[in-house]
Structure 1
Amino acid sequence: MKNKILHTDKELVQMYLKGDKKALMILVKKWHQPFCKIAFSYVNSSVVAKDIAQESWVVIINKLKTLEDANKFKSWAIQIVKRKALDYLRKKQRQTKHITFYKEDVEIEEEFQESINDKKDKLSKAIKELTIAHQQVIRLFYVEERSLTEISELLKVSVGTVKSRLFHAREKLKNTIK
């Protein structure tokens, strides 16, 4: 059986800060699994928990020089893991909100489009129920955007007749659509 020299977290941190890379490996071996378990308790996904633990190690290693009291490594590192897990949950919640808002916007847009299509269908049916003279005036005025004078010349009727037909066509459409 091999003899293993057990070091405290404080000693391992101090050894790593002095340049001993093996000390860091020992710290990671000692704490990686507990960090995964802590992260898992927040996110309920082992894959995500491992990612969080990995990201936490990056922060821990980069900020290890700022740790004032090496005796507090455990609590300091656990706080980093917890913050990373909470960050993940907040990010996930924001994404879920965006997806929910997007779905609601799409649903509203679809309902709006259906409403417009329904109104177009009703209007088309109502126009087809008009007399030919009224249909002509509606098409020329609204679709082809002709002036009353142009319509008068095309249909060879007076401007007053065009106005009258346009008025009566609108009235019939209003009543039919309601």
Structure 2
Amino acid sequence: MAVESRDPAEQNQSQPFTGNSDRDLVQQCLQGDSQSFQSLYRRHQKRVRSILFQLCDASALDDLVQEVFLRAWKGLPKFRQSAQFSTWLYRIAWNVASDQRQAAAQRRTRLQVLTHNTPTQQDAPDVMRFHYQDLVQRGLTQLSFDHRTILVLHDLEEVPQKEVAEILGIPVGTVKSRLFHARAAMRQFLQKEGVQL
């Protein structure tokens, strides 16, 4: 059953039930409407969570998602209205992932010094239940952060190459090149693990 708008005056609006566009919601946020930011959060949090899950330690996921939206909220006044909100938000997610990765690397270095370079079992937490997903996840951890980011955004999250270029602040040609090398490295990893491609 179709949901009818209660107010006949609302019938004439371009999007009576699906809600406002990201651009409209951003405008309303800038005018002090915090409910509009809640709408943006609900609309984009799943995708942000998915991106962060692929790039970061899963145990910190909730905190990282909150950090992305906190930075977005604080940064809204600087948001260029000509830009796409989702592209800008995924860029923030990538920055948060980069910061987390650097912090984790520093922690690992300190830990290795403390434990005299003894490797720990905690380096790859077993979050995946399915063998193939686990392999892909392990394959992603073998890639450089740049290559992993490209694969996650383009192949797993299906963000178009042009938008990936905007998110990462690199030319589309670089996206294509990194994608090619990242896929090749992932293929090589999966073949070594016995996956027939």
> Which consecutive residues of structure 2, in runs of 5 or more, have no partner in the other structure?
6-16, 118-197
Matched to 1:85, the amino acid is A
Match of 2:81 in 1: 69
Normalised TM-score (structure 2):
0.49
Match of 1:100 in 2: 112
**Higher share of residues assigned helix:** 1
1:117-148 deviations in Å (ceiling 9; x for gaps): xxxxxxxxxxxxxxxxxxxxxxxxxxxxxxxx
Match of 1:36 in 2: 49
* CA separation of 1:32 and 1:2: change in aligned 2, threshold 3 A: farther
Higher RCO by CA contacts (8 Å cutoff, separation 6 or greater): 2
Compute the displacement of 1:25 (Å): 1.1
Compute the displacement of 1:49 (Å): 2.1
* CA separation of 1:50 and 1:70: change in aligned 2, threshold 3 A: farther
* CA separation of 1:95 and 1:27: change in aligned 2, threshold 3 A: same
> Which consecutive residues of structure 1, in runs of 5 or more, have no partner in the other structure?
106-178
* Secondary structure of residue in 1 paired with 2:84: helix
1:81-112 deviations in Å (ceiling 9; x for gaps): 1111121111111111111112229xxxxxxx
Q: Say if 1:37 and 1:49, in contact at 8 Å, map to a contact too.
A: no
Normalised TM-score (structure 1):
0.54
User: Could you list the runs of 4 or more consecutive aligned residues of structure 1 that deviate by over 3 angstroms after TM superposition?
Assistant: none
Compute the displacement of 1:9 (Å): 0.7
Root-mean-square deviation (Å): 2.1
**Percent identity between the two aligned chains:** 18
